Amino acid sequence: MSLKRTHKCGELNASHAGQDVVVCGWVDNWRDHAGVFFVDLRDRYGRVQVVFSPENPPAFAAAQKFRSEYVLAVKASVAKRPENAINKELSTGEIELHVLEVEVLNASKTPPFPIKDYVDVSEDIRLTYRYLDLRRPALRDKILMRHKIAQLTREFFNGEGFIEVETPILTKSTPEGARDFLVPSRLREREFYALPQSPQTYKQILMIAGLDRYYQIVKCFRDEDLRKDRQPEFTQIDVEMSFIDEDDIMSLMEKFVQKLFRQTIGAKIQLPLPRHTYQDCMRRFGSDKPDTRFGHELCDLTPVFQGTEFRAFQSAASEGYIGGLYFPEAVAFSRKQTDDLIALAKSFGAKGLAWMKYQDGAFDGGISKFISDAEKSRLVEQVGMASNGLLLIVSDENVELAQTVLGVIRNRLAAELNLIDESKLALHWTVDFPMLEYSPDEDRYVARHHPFTSPKPEDMGYIDSAPEKARARAYDLILNGNEIAGGSIRIHTREMQEKVFSALKLTPEEARAKFGFLLDALSFGAPPHGGIAFGFDRLVMLLSGSSSIRDVIAFPKTASAMGLMENTPSEVDEAQLKELNIRLIH
RNA sequence: GGGGUCGUAGUUCAGCCCGGUUAGAACGCCUGCCUGUCACGCAGGAGGUCGCGAGUUCGAAUCUCGUCGGCCCCGCCA
Q: SS3 letters for A432-473? A: CCECEEEECCCCEEEECCCCCECECHHHCCHHHHCHHHCEEC
Give yes or no for a cis peptide into A272 (omega within 30° of 0): yes
Q: Which residues are registered as beta bridge partners of A50?
A: A39, A97
Q: Determine the distance between A122 (CA) and B19 (C1') in angstroms.
A: 30
How large is the C-alpha radius of gyration of chain A?
30
Angle between helices A137-159 and A246-265 (to 10 degrees): 140
**pLDDT of amino acid A440:** 80
**pLDDT of amino acid A177:** 87
**pLDDT of amino acid A439:** 84
Q: Determine the distance between A339 (CA) and B3 (C1') in angstroms.
A: 16
3-state secondary structure of A324: strand
Q: Answer for the pair A317, A307: CB distance below 8 angstroms, yes or no.
A: yes
Task: Strand B proximity: list residues 284-323 of A with CB under 7 Å.
Answer: 288
**pLDDT of amino acid A442:** 81
Q: What is the distance between the alpha carbons of residues A127 and A551, in angstroms, rounded to a whole number? A: 10
Q: What is the distance between the alpha carbons of residues A219 and A150, in angstroms, rounded to a whole number? A: 13
**pLDDT of amino acid A138:** 97
A564 C-beta less than 7 Å away from strand B: yes
Residues in chain A where the model's pLDDT stays below 70? none
Task: State whether ipTM is beyond 0.90.
Answer: yes
Residue A355 amino acid letter = W
Q: What is the distance between the alpha carbons of residues A558 and A227, in angstroms, rounded to a whole number? A: 9
Q: Per CA to C1' distance, which residue is closest to B28?
A: A114
Q: Determine the distance between A56 (CA) and B59 (C1') in angstroms.
A: 63
Q: How far is CA A168 from the centre of its chain?
A: 24
Q: Is A585 exposed, middle or buried (0-12, 13-18, 19+ CB in 10 A)?
A: exposed
> Using DSSP, how many helices (H) and how many strands (E) does chain A show?
16, 22
Q: What is the distance between the alpha carbons of residues A419 and A386, in angstroms, rounded to a whole number? A: 18
A2 C-beta less than 7 Å away from strand B: no
Is this model's pTM higher than 0.80 or not? yes
- Kindly report the bases of strand B lying within 7 A of a protein C-beta atom: 1, 10-13, 27-30, 33-41, 69-78
| CB burial string A427-437: b at 16+ within 10 A, e below | bbbbbbbbbbe
Q: What is the distance between the alpha carbons of residues A417 and A411, in angstroms, rounded to a whole number? A: 10
User: Phi, psi at residue A204, to the nearest 5°?
Assistant: -65, -40
Residues 6+ apart with CB under 8 A from A253: A239, A477, A485, A532
Q: Determine the distance between A145 (CA) and B52 (C1') in angstroms.
A: 41
Q: Are strands A163-164 and A436-439 parallel, antiparallel or unpaired?
A: unpaired
Q: What is the distance between the alpha carbons of residues A147 and A441, in angstroms, rounded to a whole number? A: 42
Residue A187 amino acid letter = L
Query: HSE-up of A265 (CA within 13 Å, CB side)?
Result: 18
A197 C-beta less than 7 Å away from strand B: yes
CA-wise closest residue to A454 among A485, A486, A493, A428: A493
The runs of H, that is alpha helices, within A74-136 are 123-128, 130-133
With CA of A54 and C1' of each nucleotide, the nearest comes out as B35
CA-wise closest residue to A71 among A41, A45, A44, A99: A41
A80 C-beta less than 7 Å away from strand B: no
Q: Determine the distance between A97 (CA) and B76 (C1') in angstroms.
A: 57
Q: Answer for the pair A22, A3: CB distance below 8 angstroms, yes or no.
A: yes
Q: Determine the distance between A34 (CA) and B35 (C1') in angstroms.
A: 7
Q: Determine the distance between A347 (CA) and B73 (C1') in angstroms.
A: 9
Q: Determine the distance between A444 (CA) and B32 (C1') in angstroms.
A: 78
CA-wise closest residue to A554 among A269, A335, A235: A235
Q: Determine the distance between A113 (CA) and B34 (C1') in angstroms.
A: 27
Q: Which helix (H) or strand (E) holds A43?
A: strand A37-43
A509 C-beta less than 7 Å away from strand B: no
Query: HSE-up of A51 (CA within 13 Å, CB side)?
Result: 17
In DSSP notation, A119-186 reads: S---HHHHHHTHHHHTTSHHHHHHHHHHHHHHHHHHHHHHHTT-EE----SSB---SSSSPPPEEE-S
Work out the number of other CB atoms within 10 angstroms of the CB of residue A120: 7
A33 C-beta less than 7 Å away from strand B: yes
Task: Strand B proximity: list residues 463-502 of A with CB under 7 Å.
Answer: 486
**pLDDT of amino acid A30:** 97
Q: What is the distance between the alpha carbons of residues A435 and A451, in angstroms, rounded to a whole number? A: 9
CA-wise closest residue to A481 among A435, A436, A424, A534: A424
A124 C-beta less than 7 Å away from strand B: yes
Work out the number of other CB atoms within 10 angstroms of the CB of residue A272: 11
Q: Determine the distance between A122 (CA) and B15 (C1') in angstroms.
A: 21
